[in-house]
């Protein structure tokens, strides 16, 4: 069994709520993954990571000399050196070492990872950036509550751009039916240009759908205000949501534990799609449209639903507070998109998949690619 897979299994068993997220070719490590040690009179926090084949690492902790990468106790690089990407030689016993537990995100991807030439942007508090590399994929990392994307530009193919809460390596089509699901999918060219999704995750990868001239602006936000208009999509999600069938029991840590929004919007139509896993009845997601109650929760199954409304004034209410460590969900509201069905009443469909199947897929994917 590979060391990457072994580490994934151990960490999944002992830490779910504040857990690193381990993908077949990468890991995302955060503050909650640091373990406390005492070395003589000194205190240190450490987190091991895998680089057995060689790897590239990124972090948004760019100003703290108290955080570093060590191997067998020897300092390799301070975090101030690795923000734009730092390559490490193949080897064992790599660790993050820190004197304090500051917020950070650390993305380590194997040199064998798919799409490993993808540009990675680090975004700090209060910063704004234009993502305009001509690569098909671009990855953004940040420890802040949420990333706000806006002003998509480019001639996009149907169904693009998409936003995933993963690193670039999880974009691979090699995963087949185990492929990760996007938290945002543009419904049309105009929908892409007018949508401003808020994404509550420390790592985000944009799939523009093609290699060429395209761009999107991004800034950090506290995640309390959700931009919306009559011809755009609005995204809601549980902070830390990953969206991969082989990661159903792993989530990113987040300082935010609730989502709330209430408004009325006039639009030509409203289409709703949801995906959720392990949302207990005690933390049911409240979703209301006009007089319709679309609240949802489940226990162990992965569930997705869709609903459609024709033209009207839509009174929308969304509310959720985390009460367990395992709940994971996302909602996309599409205002003014092409209708899913010609009906004036909400048409709701539901699909589900067993958690056991997701676990099986996890083992298959991990075994196949590491």
Residue 33: give its domain's CATH number: 2.60.120
Checking if the pLDDT of 156 tops 70, the result is yes
What is the DSSP code string of 284-312? Answer: PBEEEETTEE--B--SSSEEEEEEEE-SE
Is residue 354, in this structure, part of any structural domain at all?
yes
Is residue 370, in this structure, part of any structural domain at all?
no
| pLDDT at position 101 | 84
- pTM of the prediction? 0.86
The arithmetic mean of pLDDT across residues 193-215, rounded, is 97
247 lies in the same domain as 146: yes
User: Domain range holding 57?
Assistant: 3-112
The arithmetic mean of pLDDT across residues 24-38, rounded, is 92
Is residue 367, in this structure, part of any structural domain at all?
no
Is residue 366, in this structure, part of any structural domain at all?
no
106 lies in the same domain as 209: no
Q: Say which residue, 21 or 1, is predicted with more confidence.
A: 21
End position of a domain, from candidates 77, 112, 147: 112
193 lies in the same domain as 306: yes
Q: At what angle do helices 355-369 and 3-14 cross, to 10 degrees?
A: 150
- What integer best gives the mean pLDDT of the chain? 85
How would residue 18 be classed by pLDDT, with cut points 50, 70 and 90? low
End position of a domain, from candidates 112, 137, 157: 112
End position of a domain, from candidates 67, 85, 112: 112
Is residue 223, in this structure, part of any structural domain at all?
yes
If one counts the domains in the chain, the total is 2
278 lies in the same domain as 199: yes
Distances (CA, A) of 366 to 23, 118, 125, 181: 8, 22, 34, 18
150 lies in the same domain as 185: yes
41 lies in the same domain as 144: no
The answer for residues whose C-beta is within 8 angstroms of residue 10's C-beta and 6 or more apart is none
Is residue 369, in this structure, part of any structural domain at all?
no
Checking if the pLDDT of 4 tops 50, the result is no
Task: Count CB atoms within 10 A of the CB of residue 177.
Answer: 10
Rounded Cα distance between 28 and 140, Å, is 13
């Amino acid at each position: 069994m590979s060391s990457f897979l072994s580490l994934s299994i151990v960490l999944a068993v002992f830490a779910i709520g504040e857990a690193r997220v381990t993908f077949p070719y990468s890991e995302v490590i955060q503050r909650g993954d640091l373990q406390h040690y005492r070395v003589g009179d000194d205190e240190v926090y450490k987190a091991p990571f895998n680089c057995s084949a060689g790897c590239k690492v990124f972090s948004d902790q760019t100003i703290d000399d108290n955080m570093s990468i060590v191997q067998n106790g020897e300092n390799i690089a301070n975090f101030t050196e690795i923000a734009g990407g730092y390559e490490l030689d193949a080897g064992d016993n790599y660790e993050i070492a820190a004197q304090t537990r500051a917020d950070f995100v650390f993305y380590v991807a194997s040199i064998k990872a798919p799409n490993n030439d993808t540009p990675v942007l680090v975004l700090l508090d209060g910063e704004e950036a234009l993502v305009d590399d001509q690569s098909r994929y671009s990855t953004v990392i940040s420890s802040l509550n949420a990333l706000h994307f806006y002003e998509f530009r480019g001639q996009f193919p149907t169904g693009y751009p998409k936003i995933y809460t993963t690193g670039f390596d999880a974009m691979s089509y090699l995963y087949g039916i185990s492929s990760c699901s996007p938290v945002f999918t543009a419904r049309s060219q105009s929908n892409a240009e007018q949508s401003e999704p808020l994404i509550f995750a420390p790592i985000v990868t944009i799939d523009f759908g093609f290699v060429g001239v395209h761009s999107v602006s991004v800034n950090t936000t506290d995640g309390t205000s959700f931009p919306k208009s009559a011809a755009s999509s609005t995204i809601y999600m549980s902070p830390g949501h990953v969206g991969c069938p082989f990661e159903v029991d792993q989530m990113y840590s987040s300082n935010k534990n609730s989502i709330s929004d209430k408004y009325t919007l006039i639009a030509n139509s409203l289409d709703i799609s949801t995906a959720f896993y392990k949302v207990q009845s005690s933390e049911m997601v409240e979703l209301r449209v006009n007089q319709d109650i679309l609240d949802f929760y489940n226990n162990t199954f992965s569930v997705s639903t869709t609903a459609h409304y024709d033209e009207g004034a839509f009174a929308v209410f969304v509310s959720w507070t985390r009460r367990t460590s395992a709940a994971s969900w996302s909602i996309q509201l599409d205002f003014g998109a092409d209708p899913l069905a010609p009906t004036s009443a909400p048409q709701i469909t539901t699909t589900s998949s067993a958690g056991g199947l997701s676990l099986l897929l996890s083992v298959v994917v991990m075994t196949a690619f590491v």
